[in-house]
Amino acid sequence: MTPPRAPQIPVVVLAGFLGSGKTTLLNHLLHNRAGNRIGVIVNDFGSIEIDAMTVAGQVGSTVSLGNGCLCCAVDASELDTFLETLTRPAVRLDVIVIEASGLAEPQELVRMLLGSDNPRIRYGGLVEVVDAAEFMNTRERHPEIDRHLAVADLVVLNKTDRASEAGLDAVREAVAASCGGAAVIEASYGRIDPELLFDPVIRPDEDDDARQLTFEDLLQETAHDHGSHLHAAYESVSFSAEVPMNPRRLMAFLDSRPGGLYRIKGFADFGAADPGNRYTLHAVGGFLRFVPQPWTRDEPRLTQLVLIGSGIDARALHEELADCRETPQDATVQLERSMWGVLRYVRQPEGDEPGHEPAADETP
């Protein structure tokens, strides 16, 4: 198996009914992009404000937002064409966000992404934005919102500052009943931690004293108080193991991961089951992908994972992952055979997609 020549770019779908706050949330991400160069595809006739500039949603346009960010306004039929343009190495984007029309069927955009032949992208999740103050009335007029929530990977309960406590409780209950165990994050003015959607990056030419946090930084436990930070709204669990993981047991964990667990990222060492490769693991919602990469010379053989979600039991998750490690009783032949469960989620070079691809009514 040949690993990709370059990291795949996550493509995040941002959806929600008219007035829910999608554009406000998107502007927040653009202002707090954690060092990322963001490409924005707008499937709407609206506007995105960035600094003093307003970008009108004109179909077929590509507009620079400054700071390395781009905006394209497109029809859904043009999506693959613009993804091809934005993922060219010369563009140097790190993340692509698709802002869906307030009247769009988000599962159609998800299906197009999962069915894309573009080897330079990976699915980054469906984020459904809900107006907490208007949700109950909107849902009564547009019951299809329940269907949209059912396929979401992350629900942002926005405008919570405008809802009464009793009203917010009712919305929480209704959303929880519809979203099928997806992580639910509460926010005002669309302010969520960008780390929920994409990782901070560092540029080789950046001064080390002023650099952004790297993925390795995320794996380290931090001792200072985060109570006032945006990421106080969710939990992050770090797991590291020097003992290789048993493929069968790890897949059983991934297949039964609890509700509220939104993202899993990191690297897995499967030891004797595949001694030549480490496996980059990417999961968002119900979507899962492994990417095998050869171990480099003298590289420590470790498993390092970060799990991000809302309302999750950090201690229980850590214990479950610890139980996925190899034991002396695991036979090498059994380990090799159990790798088939992992390989189903490896994207094949010839374009086959053995990874999980949800149906329209299934959580992606």
Q: Which of 14-18, 71-75, 216-220, 348-352 has the lowest mean pLDDT?
A: 216-220
Supply the pLDDT for residue 112: 84
pLDDT (0 to 100) of residue 356: 42
Residue 336 pLDDT level (bands cut at 50, 70, 90): confident
Position 331 scores a pLDDT of: 80
**What whole-number distance in Å separates Cα of residue 136 and Cα of residue 128?**
15
- The more confident residue out of 339 and 81 is 339
Confidence of residue 2 (pLDDT cuts 50, 70, 90): very low
Q: Which of 8, 69, 20 is nearest to 46 (CA)?
A: 20
Mean pLDDT of the chain: 79
Q: What is the pLDDT of residue 214?
A: 37
Residue 100: per-residue pLDDT: 82
Q: In what helix (H) or strand (E) does residue 82 lie, and over which residues does it extend?
A: helix 79-86
Structure tokens at 165: 């406590």
In this predicted structure, what is the pLDDT of residue 43?
66
pLDDT-derived band of residue 308, with 50, 70 and 90 as boundaries? very high
For position 91, what pLDDT does the model report?
84
Q: Is residue 332 within 8 Å of 338, Cβ to Cβ?
A: no
Residue 252 has pLDDT above 90, yes or no: yes
- Which residues have a Cβ under 8 Å from the Cβ of 18 and sit 6 or more positions away? 102, 103
202 has pLDDT over 80: no
Reply yes or no on whether the pLDDT at 128 is more than 70.
yes
- Least confident stretch, 24-38, 64-78, 155-169, 332-346: 64-78
Between residues 31 and 210, the one the model is more confident about? 31
Nearest to 10 by CA among 196, 197, 193: 197
What tokens were used for 18?
A: 């008219």
Picking from 154, 119, 126, the residue whose alpha carbon sits closest to that of residue 291 is 119
Q: What pLDDT is stored for residue 209 in this prediction?
A: 45
In this predicted structure, the answer to whether residue 364 has a pLDDT above a threshold of 60 is no
What's the pLDDT score for residue 72?
58
How does pLDDT run across 8-52, given as a tens digit for each residue?
899 999 999 888 999 899 888 888 888 888 888 876 534 444 332
Amino acid, single-letter form, for residue 40: V
189 near 21, Cβ under 8 Å? Answer: yes
pLDDT at residue 50 in the model:
38
pLDDT of residue 4: 44
Instruction: Look at 62-71, 155-164, 302-311 and tell me which has the smallest mean pLDDT.
Output: 62-71
pLDDT band of residue 274 (cuts 50, 70, 90) is very high
Percent of the chain with pLDDT over 90: 48
Looking at the chain, the whole-number percentage of residues with pLDDT higher than 70 is 75
Whole-number pLDDT of residue 115: 84
Structure tokens at 65: 């937002």
Reported as a pLDDT band with limits 50, 70 and 90, residue 67 is low
Q: What per-residue confidence (pLDDT) applies to 264?
A: 95
* pLDDT of residue 123 exceeding 50: yes
What phi and psi values does residue 125 have, to the nearest 5 degrees? 110, 155
